[in-house]
Chain A
């Protein structure tokens, strides 16, 4: 059973040859995936910053309103 599984998942000569021929492309694909992932992280950080900025603004507005009411 294990041997059969290994036969199925073990790379054939053709696949090894393809990997050997296209190693630079594979590296570039990995770099591209890394760039895309970095951009996704950047979007997440932007969204978080926007959320924090909005929360701060709401807090300030609330404080300003409270102070105004106290003065009145």
Chain B
């Protein structure tokens, strides 16, 4: 994977995440009449999305380096790591956003937004990278 491909995928992934999660969470964030929830939402997503992508990239890179190629086992390990990281991210995002947004079902909104962004984002990125 070239360096520009890497940065393009990370940038695109971040933009897709912000748009898709924004679609779900924006009604809650705008209700607060304050810019702080919006800033918190953007910052949390920048921090978590970039971290997840870099971790997955590095694990894949070192796995390929050790195995010599992208094996089935490595692919499975990457999916498991991505899922675990995604669960961790939902927790972090919820813990931070609940300090700024008061809503009974905030956790489910955050979970839904992350699930939507993970599924749709993965499909779109896979389609784009196959072009």
Stretch from B21-29, B41-49, B72-80, B115-123 at the A interface: B41-49
The verdict on A24 contacting B3 (CB below 8 Å), with A29-B58, A50-B100 known, is yes
**Once A and B bind, how many residue pairs between them come within 8 Å at the CB atom?**
58
Residue ranges of A at the interface with B (Cβ–Cβ < 8 Å): 18, 22, 24-25, 27-29, 32-33, 35-37, 39-40, 42-43, 46-47, 49-50
Give CA–CA (A39, B39) in the complex, Å: 10
Residue ranges of B at the interface with A (Cβ–Cβ < 8 Å): 1-3, 6-7, 10, 36, 39-40, 43-44, 46-48, 50-51, 53-54, 57-58, 61, 65, 96, 99-100
**Residue in A28, A32, A37, A43 whose beta carbon sits within 8 Å of that of B96 in the complex:** A43
Q: In the complex, are the beta carbons of B39 and A46 less than 8 A apart?
A: yes
Q: In the complex, are the beta carbons of B47 and A32 less than 8 A apart?
A: no
Q: In the complex, are the beta carbons of B46 and A32 less than 8 A apart?
A: no
Q: How distant is A55 from chain B, measured CB to nearest CB, in Å?
A: 14
Contacts of B54 in A (CB 8 A): 29, 32-33, 36
Contacts of B51 in A (CB 8 A): 33, 36
Give CA–CA (A27, B50) in the complex, Å: 15
Give CA–CA (A20, B72) in the complex, Å: 28
Give CA–CA (A24, B7) in the complex, Å: 10
Q: In the complex, are the beta carbons of B99 and A47 less than 8 A apart?
A: yes
Q: In the complex, are the beta carbons of B7 and A18 less than 8 A apart?
A: no
Q: How distant is A63 from chain B, measured CB to nearest CB, in Å?
A: 23
Chain B residue with minimal CB distance to A46?
B40
The verdict on A32 contacting B44 (CB below 8 Å), with A24-B3, A25-B6, A50-B36 known, is no
